[in-house]
């Protein structure tokens, strides 16, 4: 079994929800990088964006990934922007199996709204959000094994990842050095 299972994808893809189920299925701990950023910053993410700016959020996010880099046997739900930052590439190139939870923009927005967690980057106008989505997609696709999430329950998605982990395609990751 790989050292680290990492979930990537756009906001609303279901990384935290699927990650919790997956971690339970694998008998591992789920680490949610957004929650660690909030702990480290001492405030919720929307406030961090408002008071200190996205730049500070990204700085703390990179620190969080650095602290997790040596940890083994965890499932990591990452923030949607984490794989995009060049400073974070080290994390996704480590001994991980990385899965891209694929979601269309419409479903992502609907889920993000339903989930009730404020995402500062979704407060922008439609064109800006679409641009962000399109820009990021190719990075997610380059780094992660694709897993479809639409019209499937989080349990079904976690189950597929368990199956993929047991099969030959889970390691190495497309962008990583494997393990």
CB of 167 to ligand S3P, least distance (A): 27
Q: Judged by CB under 6 A, does residue 119 bind ligand S3P?
A: yes
Helix, strand, coil abundance in the chain, percent, nearest 5: 55, 15, 30
Q: Judged by CB under 6 A, does residue 81 bind ligand S3P?
A: yes
Q: Judged by CB under 6 A, does residue 109 bind ligand S3P?
A: no
As given in the structure block, the two tokens for residue 39 are 């702990």
Q: Judged by CB under 6 A, does residue 30 bind ligand S3P?
A: no
- Reduced to 3 states (helix: H, G, I; strand: E, B; else coil), residue 56 is helix
Q: Residue for token digits 């639409």?
A: 150
Residue in 7, 60, 103, 121 binding ligand S3P, rule: CB under 6 A: 121
Cα atoms found within 13 Å of the Cα of residue 48, Cβ hemisphere only? 23
Using the minimum distance from each CB to ligand S3P, give the nearer residue, 50 or 169: 50
What b-and-e string marks burial along 153-167, b requiring 16 or more CB atoms within 10 Å of the CB? ebeebbbbbeebbee
CB of 11 to ligand S3P, least distance (A): 4
Contact residues toward ligand S3P (CB under 6 A) are 11, 15, 34, 45, 79-81, 119-121
């Amino acid at each position: 079994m790989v050292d680290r299972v990492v979930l990537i994808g756009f906001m609303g893809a279901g990384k935290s929800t699927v990650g919790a189920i997956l971690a339970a299925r694998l008998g591992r701990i789920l680490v949610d990088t957004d929650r660690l950023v909030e702990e480290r910053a001492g405030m919720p993410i929307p406030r961090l964006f408002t008071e200190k700016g996205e730049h500070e959020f990204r700085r703390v996010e990179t620190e969080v990934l650095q602290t997790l880099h040596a940890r083994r046997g965890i499932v990591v739900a990452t923030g949607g922007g984490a794989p995009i930052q060049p400073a974070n590439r080290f994390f996704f190139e480590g001994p991980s199996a990385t899965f891209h939870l694929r979601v269309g923009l419409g479903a992502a927005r609907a889920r993000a709204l339903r989930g009730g967690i404020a995402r500062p980057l979704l407060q922008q106008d439609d064109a800006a959000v679409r641009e962000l989505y399109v820009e990021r997609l190719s990075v997610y696709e380059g780094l992660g094994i694709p897993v479809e999430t639409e019209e499937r329950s989080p349990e079904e998605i976690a189950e597929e990842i368990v199956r993929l982990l047991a099969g030959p395609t889970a390691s190495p990751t497309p962008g990583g050095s494997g393990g």
